[in-house]
Amino acid sequence: EDQVTQSPEALRLQEGESSSLNCSYTVSGLRGLFWYRQDPGKGPEFLFTLYSAGEEKEKERLKATLTKKESFLHITAPKPEDSATYLCAARMDSNYQLIWGAGTKLIIKP
């Protein structure tokens, strides 16, 4: 069964404490892996798309990486404004629909 699993479910960090969020996927024929950020009371906001193993993309304090089984969202020296729920989703070759993970709620304490 095609599936996307995110871990941990929640992560609390001190400001400046770097860490990583995990998105593991079991899909047949990955066509793309997507990261979104969702703030409370808002819809998801697109961050990155990764297409092939070894690819990396960066935006400010965030860097997304992709292997053949999982993706990581690395956050370096986070600030309180990075607090949000981070969602990942996978798209297969055979279907345009995205398979979503349940998200990781990230809390950065000042």
Name the CA radius of gyration of the chain, rounded. Answer: 13
Select the span of 19-27, 42-50, 52-60, 61-69 touching other proteins (CB under 8 A).
42-50
Q: 73 and 18 in contact (C-beta within 8 Å)?
A: no
Select the span of 19-27, 63-71, 74-82, 83-91 touching other proteins (CB under 8 A).
83-91
Cα 44 to Cα 18, 26, 32, distances in angstroms: 23, 23, 17
Per CB under 8 A, 44 contacts other proteins: yes
Q: Which two tokens stand for residue 15?
A: 């400001």
Question: Interface residues with other proteins (CB under 8 A)?
Answer: 4, 9, 32, 34, 41-46, 49, 87, 89, 91, 96-103
